[in-house]
Structure 1
Amino acid sequence: MFSARSLFQEIVDNDESYRLFCSIAASGESQGGWENGRIAALLPASQRALAPKVTRHGADEDKHGRIFNALLRKRGLTPADVPEETDYTMLLERRGIGLAHDKLRRDEPLTELDIITYLAHSRVTEQRAADQMEMLKAYFGDHPEVGKAVRMISHDEDNHLAYCHEELLRLARAGHGRTIQRILRDCALAEIGVYRDVSLAVMDHMGRILEWPAAKAGVLAAGIRAMSGYERLGGWRRMVSLRMPERRDALGGPASSAPEFA
């Protein structure tokens, strides 16, 4: 029987599946960098104090995109086209989650509600990212090719999650608690469906590249659907709870560089 560790090892060991994995990751991180950069530029006057943290968030996401592209270059690979059905960020936007790119392209200040929406969306998606990187760190934290990248990105994602908790709690104390909880719940339930669909699509592409037998592909798909069902029944609550993080002011300084991945 295969395990999550062996599954990821199989993807990393094959050039084409590794190329697709890194390309999907790089694309998503780069989109996140652009979004945060635009949000930082459009913050309303009441939230201008957030500008350095939002900028830092975007710089981290850009850095992650560069790291995944550097991993491709180190193996002599070029980025692959990202299949539309695996584009997590785009599919979330289509479900009305987060701030629409059309709004971010305008040179109009955002509202305080927009900032709550951005932070709630980030709290949910950063939970997913932090969980994924924690799993990859457990499996590949010491891997000679990807270990350093995994550890660095995992540390950043934990910082991003801490930042979202702290800022949402600040806004809740300012009287926005009910709005925050409503948006968090809507984001979490939509994200669960998008993550399920993207996971199924990614595994379908990987299965074809790696020529998985139908039985293996079927078990993986069933596992993805079962996890989604659990999250929809009650697991979503871990994505909407708020607590003061141990890492206070996690994005209060400049973004760390990654010269070894340049």
Structure 2
Amino acid sequence: MKYAVVTGTSKGLGASIAKLLLEASVNVIGLARGENQELENADLPGKYKHYQVDLADMEQTEKTFENIISFMKKQPIESLQLVQNAALVTPIEQVGKQDAAKLTAHVHVNLLSPMVVTNLWLNAWRDSDFSLVIANVTSGAANRSVYGWNAYGSTKAGLDRYTNTVAVEQEKLQTGNKVFLFDPSIMDTDMQREIRSADPSQFIDVDQFKNYKTENKLRETDVVAKVLVDRLLDEESIQNGEYYSVKDILK
């Protein structure tokens, strides 16, 4: 059977990814702070199982993934994919005016959680007879400095370097595992609403992001998710260590 574990499935891109995978007969294990009743009650070819977890809490994150691994070890697995999509954009604020607790949660969700989970995941399936696919959702903010996005850009840049390094290690170890980055570009999500609600003193590009909405330049999450899911459903096409951007597919 085909399985995928997707973080951040309560809404937005994560929910869209999960739905499209379920429609393609992939069994999905979703993780989020909140539930997604639509996915849990969906009558689709794939089965959905949900775990409520706060990925900012490392103890809770480790325990949850240990439980998932224990569950998965009892299943007949044909293929297993991990999509690390969950992320925070807040705090949007200049350095010198930030709350340490919010910064800590931000780094935990965006960077430390994917590192901890990947470590657990690769160790758990070390002796399996199938290769793993791990997709980490990144952002163009990883490659440019944006006023007010010091935390977001830094954690996404860290995720990019981490993903590339894991890919190098897996290549050298000849595991057959594939680890890659997916850049969804700008979408119509709650994260975008958070960005648009920022004060110009916190985020000087806020008007540009308001224009994205008014000018209908934000893609729907189902459209973006299809680009990634099409790739995931064709594992042979995935290149270990690749940077896969929606902008290269949807012109």
Q: Same fold (TM over 0.5)?
A: no
TM-score w.r.t. the length of structure 2 is: 0.32
Q: When you count strand as a share of all residues, which structure comes out higher? A: 2
Specify which structure has the bigger relative contact order, considering alpha-carbon pairs within 8 angstroms and separated by 6 or more residues. Answer: 1
TM-score w.r.t. the length of structure 1 is: 0.31
Q: When you count helix as a share of all residues, which structure comes out higher? A: 1
